[in-house]
Amino acid sequence: MMTMQEKQPLSLDADELEIVQAFADGERLDDDGDDDEHDFDDGIKSARFKKLQKKLRKEVSWAIRDFKMIEDGDVVMVCISGGKDSFTLLDILLFLKKIAPIHFDVVAVNLDQKQPGFPEEVLPKYLSEQGIPYYILEKDTYSIVKQVVPEGKTYCSACSRLRRGSLYGFAKQIGATKVALGHHRDDILATFFLNLFHGGSLKAMPPKLLSDDKQNVLIRPLAYVAEKDIIKYANYKKFPIIPCNLCGSQENLQRAMINDMLREWDKAHPKRLASMFKALQNVAPSQLADRELFDFENLNLDRNSDERLFEGDNIQVGVADKLDEMGLPVNPEVQTYNPKYDKDKDSKDNKIPVINPVL
pLDDT tens for each residue of 47-64: 999 999 999 999 999 999
pLDDT tens for each residue of 77-97: 999 999 999 999 999 999 999
Span 184-208, mean pLDDT?
96
- The pTM of this model reads 0.81
Confirm if 165 and 40 have CB atoms less than 8 A apart.
Answer: no
What's the first-to-final CA gap in the chain, in angstroms?
55
pLDDT recorded at residue 343: 59
Span 346-350, mean pLDDT?
56
46 φ, ψ to 5°?
Answer: -65, 130
Would you call 164 exposed, middle or buried from its count of C-beta atoms within 10 A (0-12, 13-18, 19+)? middle
pLDDT recorded at residue 244: 72
pLDDT recorded at residue 3: 40
- Worst-scoring range by mean pLDDT, 2-11, 123-132, 195-204, 320-329? 2-11
What mean pLDDT, rounded, does the chain reach?
Answer: 85
Element (H, E) at 75: strand 75-79
What number of residues does the chain have? 359
pLDDT recorded at residue 163: 79
Q: Are strands 208-210 and 217-219 parallel, antiparallel or unpaired?
A: antiparallel
pLDDT tens for each residue of 231-260: 999 999 999 999 876 555 555 678 889 999
Write the CB contacts of 190 (distance below 8 Å, at least 6 apart in sequence): 255, 258, 259, 262
For 213, what's the count of Cα atoms within 13 Å in the CB-facing half-sphere? 7
pLDDT recorded at residue 145: 75
DSSP for residue 208 = E
Confirm if 122 and 82 have CB atoms less than 8 A apart.
Answer: yes
Span 19-28, mean pLDDT?
58
pLDDT recorded at residue 15: 65
Span 191-206, mean pLDDT?
95
Confirm if 158 and 152 have CB atoms less than 8 A apart.
Answer: no
pLDDT tens for each residue of 120-143: 999 999 999 999 999 999 988 777
Q: What percent of the chain has pLDDT over 90?
A: 65
3-state helix, strand, coil in the chain (%, to 5): 40, 10, 50
Cα–Cα dist 40/134, whole Å: 19
Confirm if 258 and 190 have CB atoms less than 8 A apart.
Answer: yes
Residue 9 has pLDDT above 60, yes or no: no
pLDDT recorded at residue 259: 93
146 φ, ψ to 5°?
Answer: -60, -35
pLDDT recorded at residue 97: 96
Cα–Cα dist 134/143, whole Å: 25
Span 139-154, mean pLDDT?
74
Confidence band, pLDDT 50/70/90 cuts, at residue 115: confident
- Report the interhelical angle of 14-25 vs 84-99 (nearest 10°): 90
Write the CB contacts of 265 (distance below 8 Å, at least 6 apart in sequence): 272, 273
